[in-house]
Structure 1
């Protein structure tokens, strides 16, 4: 499928994003014949996307009512829909569509952010771009399941069914924004007897996207699950650096060698004192180079650093350690640790946001028998990505988000306004909201 050719600046605008989704839908698999072809696949895709983008489960219901009374709707003007399918029609039409059909939207957005210089603000650690990897579940049930589910038989009886996805995101130590990249779903793999898992999905993602990202000075971040030798070797062969959580319980050989070096005084240590408000903390850094990641002659040698933060009363408030490919010295250890800690943004700024801040990632919008659950989750991720892009690049959108107290308040305004008013474009919607807030400020005086 040939994506619409637009400039990087245009590619970041909502009308062009909607046009791209419409173009992608034209290549969706469609086995319908005859009278069964009432609704276009474009309308099914954009209908599902509109629900996630507006964070309004009843958005399409409101737009049907508006269309009946006014002859137009926001589904038409904002999302380019010709007809509005029912929820069941949308689920049936999207079930055969693999989520990979939507991945060009992530790719074009990433390239546009890079080409316009937006990604430069994310770079850290000698210009490195940090990509954090983590898995999160988005469906858990003892009853609802499909052939794509991970099946767990419990020792005390019963079976549970889950869907899990690895959600790579660009993170930064400089600000809280994260940029979602193409996800990799944990699903049964052809020709594999064992069930799929997060580690295998992460391996597939690294292999699939190494060529795209390897020349962009990328450092991968991950929790202790990722700091195992096969994964680290995969990252290195793909051309990536890494900063990965490294716990004693899973790296006995590394910590045994570290203890030997401590006894000989060859582990570097220094401390810094900092203040947060009225409180004082002491940050103690330790680091060493060329430690074995595992036992044996073929062990990969890595560098290691640790931060332990204590309060004035001697209480430990933070303690973690990392294995890394980066050369360590007193001048950069604090920055390396800070970059490693940025991994938490994938949990707090991405996965938790998707589950608790209006996106309802774990809600069962539709399970299907083939790809529906994964495809709807991908549309949810894409909606979050485009919200982030607008906050980074659209002055009006960013001003509104700054003016309104919470993300929830912003989308409450969007839901109410699109229920009662028709807007000719996203720009008109945002300008209407901003002018209303400005009038409210003047009236309050």
Structure 2
């Protein structure tokens, strides 16, 4: 209790029952207000500037990657907000599974390990509806909330192929957002138009070759293909978009003298005019979407936050507010890692975040502390700082 007061100014600790009662009846938006206010401080303190991806018309733009993920599944526990899925076994016997999903978004940068998580949007059945919610419907709510909370922030949304459709692109344009949306290579009008453009000159190319590695030298060849103002689909209402594609081939000699080769292809559609001056940057930006999976969801599930742990299913907003609180904790930790020198050194020393959290918890439980400086000194040097005076 002493440390909670000296470090966090907490006088009383709520019981488990009281905390669950409070979370059950609290609005989900309560946590988003805290994140939004803290994010405003990040903007004022210039911390956000290191995440600037590119300037468009002289204005700083940032990458925001979004994706959906499940965090609770059960065949027995169910609430009014649970998504319901039908599963059939090899004998065609149906089993109902209940669960909760969430749509998350994080500001990312190709050169930074850290991310800035924004307030997530629950994917759930709303107001007693008998129909399941969907990721795209949740994304529409996410967009509306994000625009209201950050009306002047210039964003390039990084999205997967689920969002490569006219209604979503129209919505993004209405809100004034740019986008880089991954698409799968098919025999659609889009790819046929790009192929035809190779003959007319409307499709352009760019190439880049570089070497990397010390003991094992790898040669990477990047072949870019791009085109502007192409209709996405065949119908007349389909939007015009710009096309970005990169084919990456890396070759090297393996340990046993065997020639090795790795080929990867990435294709995106965008609202940003593509030129030879920005094609490399745009392709790199589109590929950064993986950070929402690895640096956000994977971190929350496997590196000490335990996203998929059942903290309490309960009723009303209980499970959603537990998840919102977890995102708030992750948000604070990421901001510390971005802007606090001492916290950065702790992360480097412990290497694994889970080890840092374990030591942090033990220190708070067993050692009387008077300040954060003393706390961080203890964690780093494994001893109390020398007394002064």
TM-score (norm 1): 0.78
Which residue does 1:118 correspond to in 2? 47
CA distance 1:193–1:90, shift in 2 (3 Å) = closer
Q: Which moved more, 1:205-214 or 1:410-419?
A: 205-214
Which residue does 1:370 correspond to in 2? 316
1:261 corresponds to which of 176, 197, 202: 197
Which residue does 1:21 correspond to in 2? none
For residues 314 and 397 of structure 1, what CA distance do their matches in structure 2 show? 40
Give deviations 1:281-325, integer Å, cap 9, x for gaps: 111111111111222111100001111111236844321100001
Q: Shift of residue 435 of structure 1?
A: 4.2
Kept in 1, the 8 Å contact 2:24–2:316? The answer is: yes
1:178 corresponds to which of 97, 100, 115: 115
For residues 286 and 138 of structure 2, what CA distance do their matches in structure 1 show? 21
Kept in 1, the 8 Å contact 2:378–2:384? The answer is: no
Kept in 2, the 8 Å contact 1:167–1:183? The answer is: yes
1:196 corresponds to which of 133, 158, 165: 133
Large movers: runs of 4+ above 6 Å: none
Task: Name the SS for the 1:167 alignment partner.
Answer: strand
Which residue does 2:80 correspond to in 1? 147
Which residue does 1:386 correspond to in 2? 332
2:70 is aligned with 1:137: yes
Uncovered stretches (5+) of structure 2, i.e. residues with no partner: 252-258
Q: Shift of residue 215 of structure 1?
A: 2.5
CA distance 1:214–1:343, shift in 2 (3 Å) = farther
Q: Shift of residue 355 of structure 1?
A: 0.3
Kept in 1, the 8 Å contact 2:71–2:307? The answer is: yes
Which residue does 1:409 correspond to in 2? 355
Q: Shift of residue 406 of structure 1?
A: 2.2
Kept in 1, the 8 Å contact 2:377–2:383? The answer is: no
Q: Which moved more, 1:123-132 or 1:351-360?
A: 123-132
Q: Shift of residue 263 of structure 1?
A: 4.7
Give deviations 1:73-121, integer Å, cap 9, x for gaps: 3333333333333323322332112321111111011111111101110
CA distance 1:256–1:191, shift in 2 (3 Å) = farther
For residues 204 and 169 of structure 2, what CA distance do their matches in structure 1 show? 24
Which residue does 1:101 correspond to in 2? 30
Kept in 2, the 8 Å contact 1:308–1:316? The answer is: no
- Which protein is richer in strand relative to its size? 2
2:370 is aligned with 1:424: yes
Kept in 2, the 8 Å contact 1:210–1:239? The answer is: no
Q: Which moved more, 1:426-435 or 1:144-153?
A: 426-435
Q: Which moved more, 1:400-409 or 1:232-241?
A: 400-409
**Count of matched residue pairs:** 367
Uncovered stretches (5+) of structure 1, i.e. residues with no partner: 1-71, 440-445
Report the aligned-residue RMSD. Answer: 2.1
Q: Shift of residue 150 of structure 1?
A: 0.5
For residues 257 and 195 of structure 1, what CA distance do their matches in structure 2 show? 37
Q: Which moved more, 1:151-160 or 1:284-293?
A: 151-160
Give deviations 1:99-149, integer Å, cap 9, x for gaps: 211111110111111111011100012231111111111111111221111
Which residue does 1:166 correspond to in 2? 103
2:219 is aligned with 1:280: yes
Which residue does 1:36 correspond to in 2? none
Kept in 2, the 8 Å contact 1:131–1:171? The answer is: yes
For residues 381 and 427 of structure 1, what CA distance do their matches in structure 2 show? 25
Q: Shift of residue 190 of structure 1?
A: 4.0
2:242 is aligned with 1:303: yes
